Amino acid sequence: MNYLKTAILLAGMTALFMGIGALIGGQQGMLIALVIAAGMNLFSYWNSDKMVLSMHGAQEVDERVAPELFQIVRELSQRAGLPMPKVYLMDNPQPNAFATGRNPQNAAVAATTGLLQMLNRDEIAGVMAHELAHVKNHDTLTMTITATLAGAVSMLTNFGMMFGGNRNNNGIGMIGTIAMMILAPLAAMVVQMAISRTREYAADRMGSEISGKPLALASALNKIAGAAHAIPNEAAEANPATAHLFIINPLSGERMDNLFSTHPATENRIAELQKIAAEMGAMPGATSTPRVSGVTGPKARPRGPWG
């Protein structure tokens, strides 16, 4: 059912892209938009991991450079029945992480140095298990393609602003073009966020099953959410279309309505993880239940970024 929903959402995004092309250039514009959309899908399929990792300055590491992180990912991958993904570090003080790649055989997980400094081992494992759950569910490909198309829609509407107002036939005029510039990216963003919001809950649950410690993940989310509001992520601010890939929204914008949030509310995710912990019998060794109100979280002891 999740794959069907994703297929429908992606089809809707492509249709939206074609619709904007038709408004700007009629039938010819629609056909051009279809070709561009197909090209974007194909390009992002083969290059999504390289694109995103490069945007965030991620560097591949091995067991010598980041022994603890590498060992955690290896152990969790074995538990999840996944091939060992490539492991990357981002020199970024904001604690956060994401996964990318077109399939489990070509996957990568990336963590910031801030994540390794602020979280303890169980919490890091919870975060990495969440990202591996995205890989196992094939979420990374879907979310990257959607982000690519959403960015392309915004680009196309900019062309509409330049050329749409000068059309005499089959055009929508300057007023219509301006309205399209506002509404089309908004519609694309809603589709993108709808995918992300449903996927995060599923990855939280599967990640909890992989790590066996849902409360450790809850504690990690609590700490990351609190720090994300205080520590800017310049790479994410420069590439906001990738924000939904992260475990917690890395952008520093003001609090928005849930409909326009790239992630479910952290408080809601923590509450769900607490329910999962109860279902699992709160397995021994799990981190104690974090405070939910305020999403501030206690500070972890200082840690070296390389494990």
Whether the per-residue pLDDT at 72 is higher than 90: the answer is yes
Question: Which of these, 231, 138, 233, 153, lies nearest to 189 by C-alpha position?
Answer: 153
Arithmetic mean of pLDDT, 105-131: 97
Beta bridge partners of 86: 108
* pLDDT score recorded for residue 212: 95
Whether the per-residue pLDDT at 95 is higher than 60: the answer is yes
- Alpha carbon 257 to its chain centroid, in Å, reads 18
* pLDDT score recorded for residue 150: 64
281-305 tens-digit pLDDT: 844 444 444 443 344 443 444 444 4
Enter the tokens of residue 250.
Answer: 């890395």
131 tagged catalytic? yes
* pLDDT score recorded for residue 26: 76
Question: Which of these, 105, 180, 113, 179, lies nearest to 135 by C-alpha position?
Answer: 105
- Alpha carbon 298 to its chain centroid, in Å, reads 25
Confidence tier at 9 by pLDDT (50, 70, 90): low
The number of residues in the chain equals 307
Q: Which of 123, 131, 200, 272 is catalytic?
A: 131
Whether the per-residue pLDDT at 28 is higher than 80: the answer is yes
Cβ burial 234-247 (10 Å sphere, 16+ → b, else e): ebbeebbbbbbbbb
Arithmetic mean of pLDDT, 243-249: 91
Confidence tier at 38 by pLDDT (50, 70, 90): confident
224-237 tens-digit pLDDT: 999 998 999 999 98
Whether the per-residue pLDDT at 24 is higher than 90: the answer is no
Q: What is the Cα–Cα distance from 244 to 31, expressed in whole angstroms?
A: 29
**For the chain, what is the mean pLDDT?**
79
179-202 tens-digit pLDDT: 666 666 666 666 666 667 788 999
Q: What is the Cα–Cα distance from 188 to 17, expressed in whole angstroms?
A: 9
Q: What is the Cα–Cα distance from 133 to 6, expressed in whole angstroms?
A: 16
Sequence-ordered list of residues with C-beta below 8 angstroms from that of 54, at least 6 positions apart, any chain: none
